[in-house]
Structure 1
Amino acid sequence: MPRNKEFDYDEKLKTARDLFWKKGYNATTMNDLVDTMQINRSSLYLAYGNKHDLFLKSLTNYIQKKDKQYNQAAQKSDQPLEAIRNVIYSVFKSAVQDTNCLFTNSVFELALTDKEVSELLQKQTLKAVGLFEKLLKQAQADGSLSADKNPLALAHFLVSGLVSIYNTHILFADAKLTKQTTEILIGTIVK
């Protein structure tokens, strides 16, 4: 008779996610995962697959967390430009609080060499672009955004700008500079 799992799948996945988040994919070893997750190697393989499978699950979990963050921030205002500001400021707060981003790390570490990771990152990027594009079109409709701006191009720019917020904070660990970067990004949607 097989034994029941003696651990919480989601909690251990979060532990693995946080380790990948801290160390990156390439620097994280299976021994690191076994030690940090505090489960034996065979249980890890049975529950999550190999290191790459576990990373994909961890990245998916992180992306879901970020997607929820963006949507909750956007829903705090019924004014479209304010909703975008809320999302951008939520990223600023995350950058200062967490000082790192698994999504950003994965873009630079794996997107060019790992097709599955690249596809996950592209899918999430397009989802965020879709959220911003929708809000930008609403802002054009209510007159709070200039009609000469291209909502799709601006949405892509804003999403890539979210990475610049993390990039600034990761490199310089300067909350004031990171906030200035955030405010400059927000300035691109002001009339």
Structure 2
Amino acid sequence: MARHKEFEVNEVLDKAIQLFWMQGYEKTSMQELVEYMGIHRRSIYDTFGDKHALYMCALKRYADIQSNKMSLLVERQEPVKEILRHFLETTLEKEGDPQGCLLVNSGVELGLLDQEVSSFVEDSYSKTEKLLYNLILAGQQTGEIEAKLDPEALSHYFMNAWLGLRTMVKTATNQEKLSGVMITTLSILD
């Protein structure tokens, strides 16, 4: 007879996200995952697979959560420049979460060592760039953003700036400096 799961999968997966986000993949042991997630080792293996499979599940859930947040941001009935400002500001406002970004951390830690992680991170980045491209194009169509600016180049630029901010927040203590980077990034649209 199959045993009934005594935990909600997304709840324990969210705990794995937090631990991987704080410590990284290599530094996080299975025993730490067992303790932090609050479930048995066998349950982790039965539900998610090995540590790497759990990590990939955590990355996917994290990316889905971030994608949903971005979709909500885009759905706002605000000018495109305001949406882009909010997009950058979300990087500076991390209430309760570790600093930085799990996807960025994963790309930096494992990008050259793990093809599956590298492909997943690259795919996530591509989706965000496409979202930025569509926002910039919409802004050009409404006249908010100069039509002569290259929307593809701008989407690459904003992606780079956003990733840079997501990296800087891990070590920067000067909020004025981070805000200045954001303001300078947005000024390219003027």
Question: Counterparts of 2:95 and 2:5 in 1: how far apart (Å)?
Answer: 35
Aligned AA for 1:104?
A: V
Given the two structures, how large is their TM-score scaled by the length of structure 1?
A: 0.92
- Tell me the number of residue pairs that the alignment of Structure 1 and Structure 2 aligns: 190
Gaps of 5+ in 1: none
- Residue 108 (structure 1) shift: 0.7
Question: Counterparts of 1:97 and 1:38 in 2: how far apart (Å)?
Answer: 19
- Residue 95 (structure 1) shift: 8.4
Residues 50-59 or 118-127, more deviating: 118-127
Question: Counterparts of 1:93 and 1:188 in 2: how far apart (Å)?
Answer: 22
Gaps of 5+ in 2: none
* 1:77 corresponds to: 77
Deviations along 1:124-183, one digit per CA (max 9) or x if unpaired, are 111111111111112222222122211012101111211111222112233222222222
Question: Counterparts of 2:107 and 2:157 in 1: how far apart (Å)?
Answer: 16
* 2:146 corresponds to: 146
Question: Counterparts of 1:134 and 1:96 in 2: how far apart (Å)?
Answer: 31
Aligned-residue Cα RMSD (Å) equals 1.8
* 1:44 corresponds to: 44
* 1:88 corresponds to: 88
Note if contact 1:95-1:166 (Cα within 8 Å) is conserved in structure 2. no
Question: Counterparts of 1:14 and 1:45 in 2: how far apart (Å)?
Answer: 16
Note if contact 1:75-1:83 (Cα within 8 Å) is conserved in structure 2. no
Note if contact 1:12-1:37 (Cα within 8 Å) is conserved in structure 2. yes
* 2:130 corresponds to: 130
Question: Counterparts of 2:95 and 2:153 in 1: how far apart (Å)?
Answer: 24
Residues 85-94 or 113-122, more deviating: 85-94
Q: When you count helix as a share of all residues, which structure comes out higher?
A: 1
* 1:58 corresponds to: 58
Given the two structures, how large is their TM-score scaled by the length of structure 2?
A: 0.92
Aligned AA for 1:25?
A: Y
Question: Counterparts of 2:98 and 2:17 in 1: how far apart (Å)?
Answer: 13
Note if contact 1:69-1:90 (Cα within 8 Å) is conserved in structure 2. no
Aligned AA for 2:116?
A: E
Aligned AA for 1:70?
A: M
Residues 57-66 or 89-98, more deviating: 89-98
Percent identity over paired residues: 27
- Residue 121 (structure 1) shift: 1.1
Question: Counterparts of 2:141 and 2:71 in 1: how far apart (Å)?
Answer: 21
Aligned AA for 1:179?
A: S
